Structure 1
Amino acid sequence: MDRLPPDRFPEVASLFHDGCPNAAMLHATLEGRVPGIVIVDNASQPTCALLQTEYYSFTFPSHPIPPTFLNQGLNHLLNDRPVMLVWDPQHADQPPPEAQKTLERKQLTGFDISSQPHEDIQVPVGAMLSPMDSGIIPKCSWHEQLVHAMGSIERFLTYGLGVCLIKNDEILAEAYMCFWGNGQAEIGVVTHEDHRNRGFGALTARHLIELCEERGLDAYITCYTQNRTLIKLARRIGLDHQRTYQLHLYGSDLANEIDDLTRHQP
């Protein structure tokens, strides 16, 4: 069991399935834009690998992955931190080791940039869509999540992309793109509590997706299956293709943290 230095991460990119869930996060880590680690069976000539992001310990298995290496790799990672294993049952030859908790997520894709937005997805009077900068980010609801994902605000401004809907210096909604790679981009969106159910999140997310498309990136949204609000928003802006995959949680601290996160989702 060997750990690769970051400058060798691109060498193992071909070991991972291009169509895996959260692929933008995987490739952003392989390409050095977000922090993470990679362990392999043999540093001289790797044939299988596990990649773990700093962000919530998302852990990606190479494909295919021998059960023995998967078990050993998970135990190795658990010596330092919990594991959240990204698992696509459709492309797995066998189930993963039994986890403390298993959650289902959806990935929503299929945006058509030539499609017209709903009539109600319009910038409200007196508001504007503004790119995120170093002055706006500390005021955002998810600025701590952003730093967790990217490592710093400076890294987000260098590699990421964000948009806020602002009116009278108040942020109404915000959308982020922290992870991109291999032609894909993963976005997140949040509407501030006092301004929900007015289409502001859909407006902001669609604008960010259009910016991603202009950069040659196919955008997608992921969420837990119980987050019906975000699934509805995604479909409203044209992300109407969906797939279901699993997160297998190993490590009690992470399981409790994710429990708290999912309880507070709409």
Structure 2
Amino acid sequence: MSAAPPAPGTDRDQLVEVAAADLPRLVPLFDPDHPNLAFAHAVIDGAIPGRAWAHFRNGAPVSCLIATTAPFCLAAGTMTPGFFMEAATLLAGHGEVQLVHPPGPGIGEWAEQAGFTTERRLHFTHTPFTHTPLDFSAPSPLAPDGYTLVRIDAETFSGLDSPMARSIFGTGARYADHAAGFALVKDGRVAADAHGVIGGGLIELGIHTHPDHRRKGLAFVVLAAVSRWGSRRGLRSVMTCHVHKTPSIALARKLGLTEEFSYPIAKATC
């Protein structure tokens, strides 16, 4: 059971679980340029499953940990060595963890002391000062011969080969209600699919191509479809990837997205 937040004037020296009704109190901890911000808002809004814990001072949250059911976990607010120790304990049994955290002197060392390894990811979006979501549009490539582009619904979700989409959304019903997704289907089977996690005015893009259908340009077709869908609804497209993922970097640029910054993550198997 989630604990009630401390009353004003009281402190909590440990991360305590935040009830669903109190999750909106965590929003001010996330800067507008926080990486994977769509994931944070999606958990807070109840669009994807997840849990959250926070440190409180004088009844207000000063730092928080959000865990999705996917590897992506998010930290925000004031970081301390103890925060990462607590995070490692709370995430025990989670499996693979990619903890996105604020940058700062010494923070990487604190994460490593808690048993994490440090890596970096890249953040891509369409340039915010030259395009608004409504006047940005990804390319509109045609589906290759033999493939049909379809909107992913609850039934299509059951045929997805993507472990990431399954771990983020959990069920086909949740996917149909809260995600934007398109797939290329051939002979009745999903060959490639792309999805968007929606939150905070953003749509964060993800992609999976079945091994039997790679190197055919399918990822570009489905990613572009999701990005265009988001732009028509005023959502800014975002894409992130590890710094060494050359194919993902090329895809982001082909979509018309621009690299804005790199950011640190702490990885572990918990």
Fold match by TM threshold 0.5: yes
Letter in 1 for 2:90: L
Q: C-alpha distance in 2, partners of 1:106/1:126?
A: 34
Superposition map of 1:233-252 within 5 A? 233-250=251-268
Cα gap change, 1:38/1:116 in structure 2, threshold over 3 Å: closer, same or farther? closer
| Residue 36 (str. 1) matches residue 50 (str. 2) | yes
CA deviation vs aligned residue, 1:129-176 (integer Å, no higher than 9, x gap): 10112222222211x432321232211111112101123424332111
Tell me, in whole angstroms, the C-alpha distance in 2 between the residues paired with 1:199 and 1:229.
11
Match status 1:196 vs 2:219:
no
Aligned to 1:212: 230
Distance 1:128 1:45, change over 3 A: same
Off by >6 Å, runs of 4+ in structure 1: none
More displaced, 26-35 or 187-196?
A: 187-196
**TM value normalised by structure 2:** 0.79
Instruction: Classify 1:193/1:41 alpha carbon distance in 2 versus 1 (closer, same or farther; 3 Å).
Output: closer
Counterpart CA distance in 1 for 2:79 and 2:215 is 47
Q: Deviations over 1:191-229 (max 9, x none)?
A: 222332222211111011000111211111111122111
Q: 1:184 aligns with which of 189, 193, 202?
A: 202
| Percent identity (aligned) | 23
User: Which deviates further from its counterpart, 68-77 or 239-248?
Assistant: 68-77
For these two proteins, the number of residue pairs brought into alignment is: 245
Give the Cα–Cα distance (whole angstroms) in 1 for the partners of residues 73 and 64 of structure 2: 7
> Where does the alignment leave 5 or more consecutive residues of structure 2 unmatched?
1-13
Helix, strand or coil at the partner of 1:136: helix
Distance, in Å, in 1 between the alignment partners of 2:147 and 2:267 is 41
2:49, 2:138 → 1: CA distance? 37
Given the superposition, is the C-alpha separation of residues 57 and 45 from structure 1 closer, same or farther in structure 2, using an over 3 Å criterion?
Answer: farther
Where do 1:12-27 residues align within 5 Å? 12-27=26-41
Q: Secondary structure at the match of 2:26?
A: helix
Question: How does the TM-score come out when normalised to structure 1?
Answer: 0.80
SS in 1 for 2:158: helix
Q: Secondary structure at the match of 1:85?
A: strand
Q: Equivalents in 1 of 2:73, 2:209: separation in Å?
A: 28
Partner residue, 2:139: 117
Shift, 1:75, TM fit: 5.2
- State the shift of 1:25 in Å: 0.5
1:74 paired residue among 62, 87, 104? 87
Q: Please, which of 152, 177, 189 is the counterpart of residue 158 of structure 1?
A: 177
Match of 1:48 in 2: 62
Tell me the secondary structure at the aligned position of residue 145 of structure 1: helix
Q: Which has the higher helix share?
A: 1
CA deviation after TM superposition for structure 1 residue 115, in Å? 5.4
CA–CA distance in structure 1, aligned partners of residues 136 and 62 of structure 2: 40
Letter in 1 for 2:230: C
Corresponding residue of 2:153? 133
**1:70/1:116 Cα in 2 relative to 1: closer, same or farther (>3 Å)?**
closer
- Deviation of residue 235 (structure 1)? 0.9
Three-state SS of the structure 1 residue aligned to 2:107 is coil
Structure 1 segments unaligned to the other structure (5+ residues): 255-266
Where 1:161 maps in the other structure, the secondary structure is strand
- Between the aligned partners of 1:136 and 1:79, the Cα distance in structure 2 is 32
Structure with a larger share of its residues in strand: 2
Looking at structure 2, the residues matched to 61 and 134 of structure 1 have their Cα atoms a distance apart, in angstroms, of 31
Matched AA of 1:105: R
Is the 8 Å Cα contact of residues 173 and 191 (structure 1) preserved in structure 2?
yes
Change (3 A) 1:175 1:194: same
Q: Distance in 1 between matches of 2:52 and 2:210?
A: 36
Encode CA deviations 1:44-101: one digit per residue, 9 max, x unaligned.
71231222223345332223x0526624642552566565321343xx3542414231
Q: Which residue of 2 aligns with 1:172?
A: 191
8 Å contact kept, 1:173–1:189: yes
Q: Is the 8 A contact 2:194 2:207 kept in 1?
A: yes
Q: Distance in 2 between matches of 1:188 and 1:56?
A: 12
